[in-house]
Structure 1
């Protein structure tokens, strides 16, 4: 790897597992709807129903592609409308979902890794999701946090990677991006002119022609690589 002056790092499935996080948040949403909009809760009891509504919303409003919060909020609003209940409940319902979504359980080595990285480099969070590093309680490790919803584009679009570099006033090639997704994170960073480390805990084969600068199996291994 060339000289690294900063780190950008993905959040979901890099610092914590996302599936159980979303499952808890969706359970909290259904519980809230059961108390305030029971017909909507019944319609969404099938876990795939809200995703199907999300696809309907996206077909009508493709601009929400990079805004997962906006997309989910509008899917909830559509569910309320179809069930004959007040669409105004979409806001507090989504707030309940989002609050639970911030209650992540970090991987066991995440705090130590973030402490190691942030002591040596400026670190930027770079995510397509709607996690809030401040609400989660890890904001002190980061100089900036870039989300797709604020940036207007999602990984692997080069512009979101360039936004991370711009936040630190550095050229893209000075940043090393770390993430679990081979395409969205590693290849996206490479295409944006950055260096990349693929966090490949499952040991999958690299699926693209151009490899990242390094592949590691854990955040601890990443720290050893950069020590």
Structure 2
């Protein structure tokens, strides 16, 4: 890489923690909440049919593709209304789901690698999801968290990458974006002018001929090792 890296942006879901078990636990927590607070919903729905309704809402409101929170609230309101339950319970239902959604189990190398990276350069979270780093406990390692919901557009749209670069006071080519998703993270960052890291924990084959990621690692710890070896002394953070 010819130019120094002055900052790193990171995806969250499936980059810092696996998301599938998180969502499964959150859906179970919501199911148990309905059993206690709005049992009529469970007379009509299983976890699988509630998931299908949530997907249907996403398809019905493509203008909310950047806002998983809004989609979830619409789905919850429909579940309650169709079951003739109190729709005023929407916020309580959402909080039940969201609290469990923020109970993540990090990949083994995540926390130590983030500590090493943040000691070198500023970190920013850049995610299409709605996980809250403050609740999760990682926010002290990040300069800021920018979500698609807050920005108004989701990755791979270039504007969300450029907004993060502006907040970091860096040119796009000075920022390294790290993520697991080929289209959202690697190609999105490339098109926006950032350098990219494909965090390929599953050791998949790269699915395109061009462009390839600038770097590819199978763990976040390997990225921290690379940064230690390549960051120029004058580029280190104070």
Q: TM-score range by the shorter chain?
A: over 0.9
C-alpha separation between the residues in 2 aligned to 1:13 and 1:132?
15
Are the counterparts in 2 of residues 174 and 194 from structure 1 also a CA contact under 8 Å? yes
Q: Please give the per-residue CA displacement for 1:49-91, whole angstroms capped at 9, x wherever unaligned.
A: 2232223323443221110111011111111111121222111
Give 1:145's aligned residue: 145
C-alpha separation between the residues in 1 aligned to 2:142 and 2:155?
19
What secondary structure sits across from 1:48 in the alignment? helix
What secondary structure sits across from 1:145 in the alignment? strand
Are the counterparts in 2 of residues 197 and 212 from structure 1 also a CA contact under 8 Å? yes
Give 1:3's aligned residue: 4
C-alpha separation between the residues in 1 aligned to 2:56 and 2:87?
16
C-alpha separation between the residues in 2 aligned to 1:210 and 1:59?
30
CA RMSD of aligned residues (A): 1.2
Are the counterparts in 2 of residues 30 and 44 from structure 1 also a CA contact under 8 Å? no
Aligned-residue offset at 1:173? 1.1
Aligned-residue offset at 1:160? 1.0
C-alpha separation between the residues in 2 aligned to 1:192 and 1:51?
33
State TM-score, norm by structure 1: 0.96
Q: Which runs of 5+ in 2 are unaligned?
A: 229-238
What secondary structure sits across from 1:120 in the alignment? coil
Aligned length: 226
Give 2:34's aligned residue: 33
Give 1:76's aligned residue: 76
Q: Which runs of 5+ in 1 are unaligned?
A: none
C-alpha separation between the residues in 1 aligned to 2:6 and 2:54?
39
State TM-score, norm by structure 2: 0.91
Give 1:22's aligned residue: 23
Give 1:174's aligned residue: 174
Aligned-residue offset at 1:48? 2.8
Aligned-residue offset at 1:39? 1.4
Give 2:120's aligned residue: 120
C-alpha separation between the residues in 1 aligned to 2:51 and 2:169?
38
Give 1:215's aligned residue: 216
What secondary structure sits across from 1:66 in the alignment? coil
